[in-house]
Chain A
Amino acid sequence: MNVIEKILAAHDQSGQSHVRPGMIIEIAPDLTMANDATAVLAIDVFRNKLLAEKVHDPARVVFIMDHYTPSCSIDAADTHQAMRAFAREQQLPFVYDGIGVCHQLMMERHVLPGQLIIGADSHTCTYGALGSLATGMGSTDVAVAWRTGRSWMKVPEAIRIEVSGAWPAGVCAKDLILRIVGDLTASGATYQAMVFAGPAIRALGISERMTLCNMVIEAGAKFSYIQPDGKTAAFLRATGRPDYPVFADDADAVYARTLTYDVGSLEPQLACPGSVDNVHPIGAAEGIAIDEFFLGACTNGRYEDLEIAAKIMKGKKVAGGSRLLVTPASRDVLLAAMASGVLATLIESGAMIANPGCSACFGGTGGILGKCEKLLTTANRNFTGRVGSPDSEIYLASPAVVAASTITGRITDPRRILQ
């Protein structure tokens, strides 16, 4: 079996030790996550359709308020009240309110290698960066898992992505995953697991591995996976999680296909408006004037992302006529950026700083776009109208591209500044 099949077999409830792609299995997830965009619907299903009273195991349920925090409307405040009331009633031990994006908090505090996790949010696939299997589901599936401790899954085929080469200055994990989504298309990995391997993946820290794994859903994939290594162990030790099982490919592991990339020749990439697979090297759109810049989201709101932006922007100003919104992905990221001076550098350059959360990744809270405005963002989706007006346009890029572009007010290749 490959490592995906091995982790699924370890969670299969029928006791079979061997699974293969296409099999439908009943599984017991280790953790179930819901946020304020999805939890209230799940609570409704739990109470009014399942007629359930008690969650199966409160210690396996995580509640995170991040999409509409601080509450940005009366409806949002009512949503948060409903979540808090349910959490009290069920005595849920893990409830986070306005201290970060759900996936960042899960990675900082909960995820372990070898776990199987379901979350009522499509970017739950991010947790493969620590060697867990995690995937997004809807509110009904999550409510069923709360009640029964079980769910079902189809064992996916796996795509292996072998990455070699030395990362050039100004080229980031974001550029690689945009290139991969562009090559595979928005549906090219549907129902499949995407396994990243090779020396250029080993060279990445956990933060950039999360960026890669975060966006596999943009090609339709169900899971991402990176084999845990010394960096994984160091990250988990530093956050109080020293013990976990490690799974690995058997010698006869089978992959549906293998793709190879050499990052040595990779350029900064952009996903141009409308679809995440509308990907081009930055040269295709350099010079386009931008109204709003966003540095944040579960894709690229970590300390390393803010740090590279500060390195590029130090002593420079956001161009007149445009605006920069920086939203750290969690309170820990915000504190680290305060302690090191990274936050001060960004503020001195003209950035607005928002409370940790999903922020301008979508049009729910702040940073909403007006008619015909253009946004250059480190987030993961550029769907038409996602961040406000249906006439606005969204470009996706790395934190280095966003930072370099804030200085000129136009899409700018960061290699011009970093070299």
Chain B
Amino acid sequence: MITGKAIVFGDNIDTDQIIGAHHLTRPSIAAMAPYAFEHHDHFRRDFAPGDIVVAGRNFGSGSSREQAPAVLKERGVAAVVAASFARIFFRNAINLGLTLIECPEAGEIRPLEQLEIQGDLLLNLTTGRKFIIIALPPFLQAFLDNGGVVAHFRTR
């Protein structure tokens, strides 16, 4: 179970906004993480580890940079809830073990509302609303259950 407050973004949040390309040569993910959502003041002001990033359609579009989900995980983002995800970001996040929740009604969540993720349900504790989560395909769920792509291939 995951609980945290919602840090809300709009549609088409691209990976340049998550971590700018001029930070990608920094020596480690830990060194890049302070620059996550560098130009989004509300993230810098309101986010605390364990909070949930909430967004609209096509979250993580653009560059293939794996540093984008990596810095979110490093900062302590408990989950990203979005109406939909861009393909490469989705794959990278699963590979890294960052929890992604696909929820068509994500756009109805308002800033700083308290959320709880329970199995296939997303509860808005502030408003009392419940949303159904779109489950991962079984193949990817098995992947996650086995500890992600690295663990899967290390066993070979």
Spell out A's residues near B (CB within 8 Å).
24, 36-38, 40-41, 45, 49-51, 67-68, 73, 75-76, 78-79, 119-122, 124, 136-141, 144, 147-148, 150, 186-187, 190-191, 220, 222, 275, 277, 362-364, 381, 383-386, 390
Contacts and interface: CB of A to CB of B under 8 A. Distances in A.
B150 A49 contact: yes
Contacts of B17: 383-385
A190 B22 CA distance: 27
Given A24-B139, A384-B39, A138 B26 contact: no
Contact of A187 (B57, B137, B139): B57
B16 A383 contact: yes
A45 B12 contact: no
Given A138-B66, A138-B95, A144 B153 contact: yes
A136 B27 contact: no
Contacts of B39: 384-385, 390
Contacts of A41: 29, 66-67, 70
17 contacts: A38-B64, A41-B66, A50-B150, A75-B25, A137-B91, A140-B95, A144-B150, A148-B156, A150-B153, A187-B12, A190-B84, A277-B12, A384-B17, A385-B16, A385-B39, A386-B20, A390-B39
Contacts of A150: 153
A191 B14 CA distance: 17
A364 B63 CA distance: 14
Nearest to B31: A75
* Interface residues of A, dominant DSSP: loop
Given A122-B62, A139-B66, A362 B150 contact: no
B96 interface: yes
B65 A138 contact: yes
A347 B96 CA distance: 47
B45 interface: no
Name the residue in A45, A121, A138, A364 with the highest tally of chain B Cβ atoms < 10 Å from its Cβ.
A138
B92 interface: yes
Interface of B: 12, 14, 16-17, 20-22, 24-27, 29, 39, 57-58, 61-67, 70, 84, 86-88, 91-92, 95-96, 137, 139, 149-150, 153-154, 156
Nearest to A139: B66
A220 B58 contact: yes
Name the residue in A78, A121, A144, A147 with the highest tally of chain B Cβ atoms < 10 Å from its Cβ.
A144
Contacts of B25: 36-37, 40, 68, 73, 75-76, 78-79
Given A148-B156, A386-B16, A140 B66 contact: yes
A136 B21 contact: no
B143 to A, nearest CB: 9
Contacts of A49: 150, 154
Nearest to B152: A144
Given A68-B25, A140-B66, A187 B61 contact: yes
Contact of B27 (A36, A50, A75, A386): A75
A108 B21 CA distance: 26
B12 A186 contact: yes
Contacts of B156: 148
Contact of A122 (B22, B27, B64): B64
Contacts of B154: 49-51
A164 B54 CA distance: 42
A146 to B, nearest CB: 11
Contacts of B57: 187
A222 B89 CA distance: 12
A50 B14 CA distance: 28
A50 B150 CA distance: 6
